[in-house]
Chain A
Amino acid sequence: AQSVTQLGSHVSVSEGALVLLRCNYSSSVPPYLFWYVQYPNQGLQLLLKYTSAATLVKGINGFEAEFKKSETSFHLTKPSAHMSDAAEYFCAVSDRNNNDMRFGAGTRLTVKP
């Protein structure tokens, strides 16, 4: 069964610093991978997705992620954190034949002024 593991339930960075949120996947076949963001009291919103085209995927709000098959990773990065980036971030994986996604446990990002 496919799954993702997010390393670090909490990440704290200073405003302007690099954001790195880690996600490793487990899949027997090349998966589709997603990053979602959840702001307080809201539903999840797609940041970006990997669908086996380019391995470096650019998303909204300046975020990007790189698919590395050799490391089974899909880490999310942003060069410079903004206060508005404070939220919970979820990595998810879906099967090629059905997109019933499996989500990671989430990483709460705090941005310090």
Chain B
Amino acid sequence: DSGVTQTPKHLITATGQRVTLRCSPRSGDLSVYWYQQSLDQGLQFLIQYYNGEERAKGNILERFSAQQFPDLHSELNLSSLELGDSALYFCASSASVAGYNEQFFGPGTRLTVL
């Protein structure tokens, strides 16, 4: 158990809909990362937050947004969903932004768009 929790575990929805994925980092970790894992794209970095502020952006679509709240939990919002958004979404956390810090991964949310 990494100490990172993600809810829900599975999510099935229809095209055009909007969903919210939630992540609680390990106790004391200030940095949160979101990743998308699919068979064709592999593990893609989406976005990073540090202590409530956006720190780095990766291959995140404009239809996707995220935020980190004062209690440090984070939410990833996916809107106008398309079939291609079906994937595993991982949240990870780390103590700080220093490059040597490992990231601890949650169990993931499997999103299926029908």
CB atoms of A96 and B90 under 8 A apart: no
Question: Which residue from A95, A96, A99, A104 sits with its C-beta under 8 Å from B31?
Answer: A99
CB atoms of A100 and B105 under 8 A apart: no
The CA of A49 and the CA of B102, in the complex, are separated in Å by: 8
Say whether B98 faces chain A, with CB atoms less than 8 Å apart: yes
Interface string of B81-101 (1 = CB under 8 A from A): 000000000101010011111
CB atoms of A44 and B105 under 8 A apart: yes
The CA of A86 and the CA of B107, in the complex, are separated in Å by: 18
Contacts of A57 in B (CB 8 A): none
Question: Which residue from A36, A51, A90, A102 sits with its C-beta under 8 Å from B100?
Answer: A51
Question: Which residue from A44, A95, A100 sits with its C-beta under 8 Å from B90?
Answer: A44
Quote the shortest CB–CB distance from A57 to chain B (angstroms): 12
Known: A43-B107, A49-B102. A98 touches B97 (CB 8 A): yes
CB atoms of B107 and A99 under 8 A apart: no
CB atoms of A34 and B55 under 8 A apart: no
The CA of A105 and the CA of B94, in the complex, are separated in Å by: 22
> Contact residue range for chain B?
20 to 34
Partner-binding segment picked from B40-48, B61-69, B72-80: B40-48
The CA of A107 and the CA of B2, in the complex, are separated in Å by: 22
Closest B residue, CB atoms, query A2: B99
The interface on chain A, measured as residues whose beta carbon lies within 8 A of the other chain's beta carbons, has a size of 25
Classify the interface of chain A: helix, strand, loop or mixed.
Answer: loop
Quote the shortest CB–CB distance from B107 to chain A (angstroms): 5
CB atoms of A105 and B100 under 8 A apart: no
B-to-A contact residues, CB < 8 Å: 2, 4, 31, 33, 35, 42-43, 45, 48, 55-56, 58, 90, 92, 94, 97-108
A sample of 29 inter-chain contacts (CB < 8 A) reads: A36-B105, A42-B108, A43-B2, A43-B92, A43-B105, A43-B108, A44-B90, A44-B92, A44-B105, A46-B104, A51-B100, A97-B97, A97-B99, A98-B48, A98-B55, A98-B56, A98-B97, A98-B99, A99-B97, A99-B99, A99-B100, A99-B103, A100-B45, A100-B48, A101-B33, A103-B35, A103-B43, A105-B42, A106-B43
Instruction: Give 4 nearest A-B pairs by CB, closest first.
Output: A43-B105, A100-B56, A51-B100, A44-B105
